[in-house]
Amino acid sequence: MTQEREPLLQQNGGVGNAAAGSKGSPAVLPSLARSVLKFLMWAVFLTWAAGIFFYPTAPVQTAFRKWADITSTEGLITGLTGTVFLFFSGPILLIAALAYVYIFAFPGDHVQKKKLRSLSFRLWTFPVLVDGPLGVVSAVEFIGIVLFIVYIVFSMTYYVVDSVSFISKAHLPPTTRSELLLALIGLRFGSVGLFCMIFLFLPVSRGSVLLRLIDIPFEHATRYHVWLGHLTMALFTLHGLCYVISWSLLGRLIEELIQWKEVGIANLAGVISLAAGLLMWVTSLHPVRKRFFELFFYTHQLYVVFVVFLVLHVGDFVFSISAGAVFLFMLDRFLRFWQSRTKVDIVSAACRPCGTVELVFSKPPSLRYNALSFIFVQVRELSFLQWHPFSVSSSPMDGRYHMSILIKVLGTWTDTLKRIIADVQEQKTRSDSDSDQSQTGRITASIEGPYGHESPYHLMYENLILVAGGIGISPFLAILSDIIHRIGQGMPCAPKNVLVLWSVKKTSELSLLLAVDAQSISSSVCDKLHLDIQAFVTQESDPPLEDGIVGDDQKAPGIFVKNGTAMSGLVGTGDNFWAAMYFAASTLGSVLAFVLVQLYYVKRYNVYAWWYLGLLLLLCMAAGITLPGGLVVLLWHLSEKRRMQDDRWDVDARAGADAEQTTNAAGGADASAASLAAMRTTRYGCRPKFHAEFAAFAERAGGAAADVGVLVCGPAGLQASVARECRSQNLRRGGAVFHFNSHSFDL
């Protein structure tokens, strides 16, 4: 039971205890294996990255051509395509394979307290840029941005100089030189764009083992996808623009645009791919996305058109440059498709008087998550395509069979959902009919996830500051519940001092604090945990007359919706063994399919059209994922189904048992127990003064010796203010160290 509730922390503790408790060689072997795996992954990555960075240079170009000639002439079945794939995409898949071995062998191997002040960890949590179009940027992110800029400038400068030198040696008319130079520069923009496309698809794979390996939650990876999307589309746009100008100067614009060569580049396919990419790019710009989210969402489904016609445009061996990253995305997308087919039981759906919707989903006890996780939710009555991310508001300690989220009404989708639930609640109040029969199928929900931090970030600090704006308190409710439960049950839990700074517009929003499962805190927990909740009501200058009963806000009775089963465990962050088997089967299946196609179709029938060979490569990747990979997923699904049958539970009976347990706990609670509402201090007509609050907290936490974890969830302005204060505090000599981390999902 305990292992199912907290596998990440306990498994890590198990590894650490085993290493600490053993003497001699047994303790050395796990540490040595861990070091060897890390070294191999870093060696492969750095070699691969260096090869990409210096690819424009003459020495690397010469070495690559020699290797390509050797592998092509000495019997490599896949020819030039296989060579390019091994050089550019092979390292990504090798790192992914090693990552699965690492995660399976050392589950929950995350940053320990002794490493909080290490340089690498501080670079991740130190905000360098605060105000700007990129939002809050950490030191590591800033280094990554600089490296990409240096790569683009270096590559294009080298290519331009090389192209000018090449053209100057040829005896051509000035007009022809200009046209040729534009074509060559356009070609180089396209090749650099393909390299950037490798990194474009890596962060958008939600359950990617690579994201899990370096513990980058998907809400952070989404920002990287946005940045890389702007960069990649800018390069592809310049690529197309250079060719358009060159063809216009030659007077062959229309003729070239509609050309579809058998050997060489298929221009028309490139025009279609670029048009789809431009539509996605324009609608993803922040002003458009904010005002017309549905337009952005539906237009972004054109990524299929973008990728397919890009493959047809460049052919098989050129596409092999970014094929590995696209393959990992296809793996994740196919697994998400399987998980999203499940119709999930809604244990409770209710509207709170403050205007927030609470949904409680049924989940299998084997599905693991932590208090910083989030899920994607689809309600088919509202849309078959739209999936919306929500932070989990429940802790794994609240119960093994359910997971809850809080939804604030902000747009059409959430408003319609609230009206559906409110209508059913009203019918339930008026009617005495059986609730199961009247409510079955009214809300058909599907879930993808959970995703998020691989490690419970909030459990690493003795001193923790949680800064929230409005509904941003949702993930922090899960954190508070997690901490209170762990301390109450004597489980490993680092936090000793917790400060919550919560800004809301209206007093009614304060009732969200009642969503915390652990409402009553025993005196033994109070002795070990100093919890201070500071609430700021910004749009009310005085407490309302009914302020004394804010804590008695009662949500309407929840409705139960029986859709068929609990959440599916088919997720990349789920069972490590099955996820690794799925990756291995899909990869080997794709390689085998491509080899067989080359042997028995391409070579036998002398297939030579570039666009067709590219299409065959893409189809082989899809076949490897859907056939052998699909078989593994089916076995995984049957295994999960059998596990769920072994641990069957009756919803109504368990609900009664939970209610009885809650009543008994309340009745047997210690007389000196405190409530969360009693720990809340409310201030009206003001906002938190972060400088004073942070300085006072650091002083209480131990001054210069203190490491303070700061988590913020809320609007971009709130994140910037908190990051600015963390940076200011960290730049002071002899002060506490503030580790900044945001937990906001900005689509």
Decide: 513 and 507 in contact? Cβ < 8 Å: no
Residue 439 in this model has a pLDDT that exceeds 80: no
**Residues 6 or more apart in contact with residue 601 via CB below 8 angstroms:** 607, 616
The helix/strand/coil state of 475 is helix
Higher pLDDT, 735 or 567: 567
Report d(CA 239, CA 274) in Å as an integer. Answer: 10
**DSSP letters spanning 563-596:** -SB-----STTS-HHHHHHHHHHHHHHHHHHHHH
Decide: 5 and 396 in contact? Cβ < 8 Å: yes
pLDDT tens across 563-606, in order?
667 888 888 777 889 999 999 999 999 999 999 999 999 989 99
pLDDT tens across 124-147, in order?
888 998 888 888 899 999 999 999
Task: Compute the average pLDDT of residues 8-19.
Answer: 39
Task: Compute the average pLDDT of residues 710-718.
Answer: 89
**Residue extents of the structural domains in the chain:** 138-232
pLDDT tens across 503-540, in order?
998 888 888 887 776 656 777 788 888 888 999 999 88
Residue 116 in this model has a pLDDT that exceeds 80: no
Owner of token pair 């340089």: 119
Q: What angle do CA 156, 159, 163 make, to 5 degrees?
A: 135
Residues 293-331: b if buried by 16+ CB within 10 A, e if exposed: beebbebbebbebbbbbbbbbbbbbbbbbbbbbbbbbbb
Report d(CA 230, CA 27) in Å as an integer. Answer: 48
Which of these, 236, 257, 235, lies nearest to 246 by C-alpha position? 257
pLDDT value at position 260?
93
pLDDT value at position 202?
92
Predicted TM-score of the model (pTM)? 0.87
With bands split at pLDDT 50, 70 and 90, how would you rate the model's confidence at 734? low
Alpha helices in 127-266 (DSSP H): 139-169, 174-201, 209-213, 218-250, 253-257
Report d(CA 124, CA 131) in Å as an integer. Answer: 18
Two tokens at 378?
């689809």
Q: At what angle do helices 323-340 and 576-597 cross, to 10 degrees?
A: 130
Higher pLDDT, 117 or 486: 486
pLDDT tens across 671-697, in order?
445 667 677 888 898 899 998 888 888
Two tokens at 405?
């989220």
pLDDT value at position 100?
93
In the 8-state DSSP scheme, what is residue 604? Answer: T
Percent of the chain with pLDDT over 90: 36
CB atoms under 10 Å from CB of 458, counted, come to 27
